[in-house]
Structure 1
Amino acid sequence: MALAREIIKDVYSVGAIDWNRRLFDALILLPDGTSYNSYLVKGSEKVALIDTVDSTMSEVLIENIKEVNIDQIDYIIVNHAEQDHSGTLPRILELFPDAKVLTNPKCKDLLINLLFIPDDKIEVVEDGEEVSLGNKTLKFIYAPWVHWPDTMFTYIVEDKILFTCDFLGSHLATSDLFIEDNIRIYEPAKRYYAEIMMPFRVPHVQRNLKKIRDLDVNIIAASHGPIYNDPSFILDLYDDWASNNVENEVIIPYISMHGSTEEMVRYLTDELIKRGIFVKVFDLTKTDLGDLAMAAVDAATIVVGAPMMLANPHPNVIGPIVLLNALRPKTRFVSLIGSYGWGGRLVESVKELLSNMNVEFIEPVVAKGYPKEEDFRRLDKLADDILKKHKEALKRH
């Protein structure tokens, strides 16, 4: 069913809502589905299509374009080559063989290698270059590493609309064209930031936020999720998430085989709460890793709970730790609690797995077997140490 919707005069949303998708990149859970946003711009002289959609939704895009009732597409703007935004490009070029693909050099190389787009179909645009559609002007702004090296933004100068591709998006399938409820969009937007943008927080997210702040923008239209007709909402959130400021929060991802580590987690959680620290606990046998990533956006401290298994941390702890290491949250402090039977490299292994994070390690608490009175006193000290570190970190901002 076709569903082309006008954003403002002669600018249309022609993308696809994917209500049923639940996994992205064979890794990221999508509890709310997603959308692949594509935008058609009718100028007085020429027509441009900004991004396409995932190949699974090709027919939806094609039907939506037909509904706008155009004879020709002159330019296809590719802001980013990843297939959820470019997958239908070959089909669109078949339907509109005279169209030119406009993109940047890095994206051109990716389109040739990922989708076999002919070299002579692609024209490279420079950072800051403008292309006229008649009464509408498209300006291209390079925005590398949010989240691939090829990303760029497209800005309609007269209408003050910024198309940011993945940047500032959200995995959310909704019938709303625009953000109607800031509370409803908050969690999908934060989850999206945590899973996709957080590794590039410094300097790339911060740098590209400044580029947007320097523009006069009335509408932000990303390639996933609904459109922001109040850009300050998402920009203010990103300013906070991408800053160096942390909150008085501890997250505790853990595994427990026979109850020893779980008892230590329970005790430490209670002690942290008594000290006025907000705590989120994640049993990794049940946790959606997107929830863990989202909680890591603001937390000052991560405490890993891990039992020893065959001289190393339990295997089900390793994956989430590796993920956190790759996401590189602004967390300041890390510690470890857990238990062992006869020995191994529990502490050393966790430190190595988190080597990508710029953090201070707080003295861990590792018990031999089930925790004893001495171990609980060490957990008391760990809670005190965390409180002290938080006070110092929060004072600095």
Structure 2
Amino acid sequence: MVLLTEKTQKRLTIQTQDIAPETKAIRSLDWDRDRFDIEFGLQNGTTYNSFLIQGEQTALVDTSHEKFRQLYLDTLKSSIDPAKIDYLIISHTEPDHSGLVKDILQLAPNITVVGSKVAIQFLENLVHQPFERRIVKNGDKLDLGNGHELEFVIAPNLHWPDTIFSFDHKTQILYTCDAFGMHYCSDSLFDEDLVVIEEDFKYYYDCLMGPNARSVLSALKRMGELPEITTVATGHGPLLFHHVKELTGRYRKWSQEQTKAETNVAVFYVSDYGFSDRLSQTIAHGIIKTGVAVEMMDLKSADPQEITELVSNASGIVIGMPPLSNANVAQAGLSTILAAAKAKQSFGLFESGGGEDESVYPLRNKFKESGLIEAFPPIRVTENPSEGTYQLCEEAGTDLGQFLSRDRSIKQMKSLDSDLDKALGRISGGLYIITAKKGDVASAMLASWVVQASFKPLGVTIAVAKDRAIESLMHTGDKFVLNVLEEGNYQALMKHFLKRFAPGADRFAGVKTQSAENGCPILTDALAYIECQVVSRMECSDHYVVYATVESGRVSKTDSLTAVHHRKVGNHY
């Protein structure tokens, strides 16, 4: 069954379908959402998946986002009288999955809420009313009858500290909430077409799961102790059925690569305070783009020994300042970090945006006195974060990662054979400025690896380094302008866009621009411009090769030539 809202600009629909005996998926399809959670861009919307298991007793696994309140509750009522639901299983308490818990408690006042100890604590602060609860630990079981015996797997930090998985021994379905999901909205319930979803699957991992690679591996180990898993019922996107081993295997491979990295950064945050989790995830994503590993830790639930071990092994430290009013978190956690920190480590501090953040400056001064190196200036959040705030955080993380990986980059530059290096350097290219804008976020980069790639339709390819700030604006569906620089008249623009910009800096300050039809900046002094839309992109080691179709363009001087870039070496720009 599909229900449509009256809003035509933002499509919200509900899909229900049986996925196994006495087991139904209730999927809330958010077709047009283009931002999510940590404010990373969505190209294909998202879904919020909920599940109903009806044995002799009935369990509801997760709810939905509050924007689906009427649609979701009406759909649920068409399947069962909510008062007859015995258990509400909370995989984790993030609002996109638990946004309707309070509504369910009103409709089913005798329901028992099942979750981890941390989840129950978070939920108490969320619903502000008494409720029956059952706290579960790893390996605990819940028998619903008719063979539906649920076994719980504790999976903290995927991507919140309260996460649990639930495995139904009858149907062999594992309910994993955020883990193994993706922000991909379609009518397809399952993962039939791997090629279509794999970019979104990887992007989702990089943004949400990569910073918790050790926790991913721990969860995979516990999953390995279960009987064969035939279906992974995720909280976002299609359910995994056709490619379960392939996609869970990718999680294992990517996480092993993260944990074996020579350089890593410890990112500390407070999960239920202000915007700490979202801002920290954004900074972590910026770091990961540079090839530097990240390990995140919630200060509220972290053990002092775990904090000490993580800080001692880290090359860099990032801290989201906890609330001033919470003395235990503010003092004990920060004191432990300070005691374990060492000279020459890099650090960065940001406010959590909760309104009463512990001041960044006393800790900043103590770190500097101890010989630590500040990677980026303190990020102060005085109001609800904007798109610009998240851009600032991602770019700050990238700056930190680039600083920590500079020695590795220099080593790689020296690794090529001299003759091969010189030969590669003889491959010339034009000089271009790529400009892009989405919402309030704009960026630009100097590019030389640009080539026409097709006639029908007209298309170009551009190589974009993974750690470029503009990379986040060059996903499938995004639009940009290819500005062609003029021979003999390119030095000023090249010099401007070659300089290093501070995190969050306006890259177009002092440059003449006008707006293209696709909303992106056109450089007034460019020889020509071409408006493009990204169709696909391919991962190529340290770059993405982006293929885009050409929508329109114009030349300002028909008798001028494109500026050409000649390199002497082929192992760096």
TM-score range with shorter-chain normalisation? 0.5 to 0.7
Tell me how far 1:239 sits from its aligned partner. 2.1
Give the aligned partner of residue 210 of structure 1: 221
**Are the aligned partners of 1:153 and 1:164 in contact in 2 as well (CA < 8 Å)?**
yes
Give the aligned partner of residue 50 of structure 1: 61
Per-residue CA deviation, residues 123-171 of structure 1 (Å, 9 max, x unaligned), is 2122211111112111111001111111110111121110001000011
Whether 1:219 and 2:231 are equivalent positions in the alignment is yes
Q: Please say which of residues 279-288 and 163-172 is displaced more in the overlay.
A: 279-288
Tell me how far 1:121 sits from its aligned partner. 2.9
Give the aligned partner of residue 137 of structure 1: 149
Structure 1 SS opposite 2:249: helix
Give the aligned partner of residue 315 of structure 1: 505
**Are the aligned partners of 1:76 and 1:100 in contact in 2 as well (CA < 8 Å)?**
yes
Whether 1:62 and 2:62 are equivalent positions in the alignment is no
Q: How many Å separate the matches in 2 of 1:289 and 1:235?
A: 28
Select 2:113's aligned residue among 101, 104, 107.
101
Structure 2 SS opposite 1:158: coil
Q: How many Å separate the matches in 1 of 2:168 and 2:503?
A: 52
Q: How many Å separate the matches in 1 of 2:500 and 2:241?
A: 52
Tell me how far 1:108 sits from its aligned partner. 1.1
Q: Which amino acid aligns with 2:193?
A: D
Give the aligned partner of residue 45 of structure 2: 33
Q: Which amino acid aligns with 1:240?
A: K
Q: How many Å separate the matches in 2 of 1:112 and 1:314?
A: 37
Q: Which amino acid aligns with 2:96?
A: D
Whether 1:118 and 2:308 are equivalent positions in the alignment is no
**Are the aligned partners of 1:76 and 1:101 in contact in 2 as well (CA < 8 Å)?**
yes
Unmatched runs of 5 consecutive residues or more in structure 1: 271-277, 293-304, 318-331, 334-371, 387-397
* Structure with more helix by fraction: 1
**Are the aligned partners of 1:307 and 1:314 in contact in 2 as well (CA < 8 Å)?**
no
Give the aligned partner of residue 389 of structure 1: none
Give the aligned partner of residue 35 of structure 2: 23
Per-residue CA deviation, residues 9-67 of structure 1 (Å, 9 max, x unaligned), is 100012311112111126121110100000000012x1000000011112222122222
Give the aligned partner of residue 249 of structure 2: 236
Whether 1:195 and 2:207 are equivalent positions in the alignment is yes
Task: From the superposition, tell whether residues 218 and 316 of structure 1 become closer, same or farther in structure 2 (CA, over 3 Å).
Answer: farther
Task: From the superposition, tell whether residues 189 and 283 of structure 1 become closer, same or farther in structure 2 (CA, over 3 Å).
Answer: closer
Structure 2 SS opposite 1:80: coil
Q: How many Å separate the matches in 2 of 1:90 and 1:290?
A: 39
Per-residue CA deviation, residues 197-236 of structure 1 (Å, 9 max, x unaligned), is 11111x1112212222332211100100111113112112
Matches within 5 A, 1:1-397: 1=3, 3-25=15-37, 27-44=39-56, 46-70=57-81, 72-113=84-125, 115-135=126-146, 136-201=148-213, 203-215=214-226, 216-230=228-242, 231-244=244-257, 266=447, 280-281=464-465, 287-288=471-472, 291=475, 307-308=498-499, 315=505, 377=568, 380=569, 382-383=571-572
**Are the aligned partners of 1:251 and 1:281 in contact in 2 as well (CA < 8 Å)?**
no
**Are the aligned partners of 2:175 and 2:233 in contact in 1 as well (CA < 8 Å)?**
yes
Q: How many Å separate the matches in 2 of 1:167 and 1:204?
A: 11
Q: How many Å separate the matches in 2 of 1:241 and 1:104?
A: 27
Tell me how far 1:86 sits from its aligned partner. 0.2
Tell me how far 1:110 sits from its aligned partner. 1.2
Tell me how far 1:122 sits from its aligned partner. 2.5
Structure 1 SS opposite 2:166: strand
Of the two structures, which has the highest relative contact order with CA contacts closer than 8 Å and spacing of 6 or more?
1
Q: Please say which of residues 11-20 and 229-238 is displaced more in the overlay.
A: 229-238
Per-residue CA deviation, residues 347-371 of structure 1 (Å, 9 max, x unaligned), is xxxxxxxxxxxxxxxxxxxxxxxxx
Q: Which amino acid aligns with 2:46?
A: T
Q: Which amino acid aligns with 2:202?
A: K
Q: Which amino acid aligns with 1:87?
A: G
How many residues matched? 300
Q: How many Å separate the matches in 1 of 2:473 and 2:253?
A: 22
Per-residue CA deviation, residues 278-303 of structure 1 (Å, 9 max, x unaligned), is 953479685435859xxxxxxxxxxx
Structure 1 SS opposite 2:53: strand
Structure 1 SS opposite 2:222: helix
Tell me how far 1:315 sits from its aligned partner. 2.3
Task: From the superposition, tell whether residues 287 and 212 of structure 1 become closer, same or farther in structure 2 (CA, over 3 Å).
Answer: same
Q: Which amino acid aligns with 2:127?
A: F
Q: Which amino acid aligns with 1:103?
A: G
Q: Which amino acid aligns with 1:218?
A: T
Q: Which amino acid aligns with 1:280?
A: V
Structure 2 SS opposite 1:232: helix
Tell me how far 1:240 sits from its aligned partner. 2.4
The share of aligned pairs that are identical, in percent, is 28
Q: How many Å separate the matches in 2 of 1:316 and 1:34?
A: 30
Q: Which amino acid aligns with 2:69?
A: S
Structure 2 SS opposite 1:48: strand
Q: How many Å separate the matches in 2 of 1:251 and 1:87?
A: 35
**Are the aligned partners of 1:251 and 1:279 in contact in 2 as well (CA < 8 Å)?**
no
Q: CA RMSD in A?
A: 3.8
Q: How many Å separate the matches in 1 of 2:76 and 2:96?
A: 18
**Are the aligned partners of 2:465 and 2:471 in contact in 1 as well (CA < 8 Å)?**
no
TM-score, normalization by structure 2: 0.47
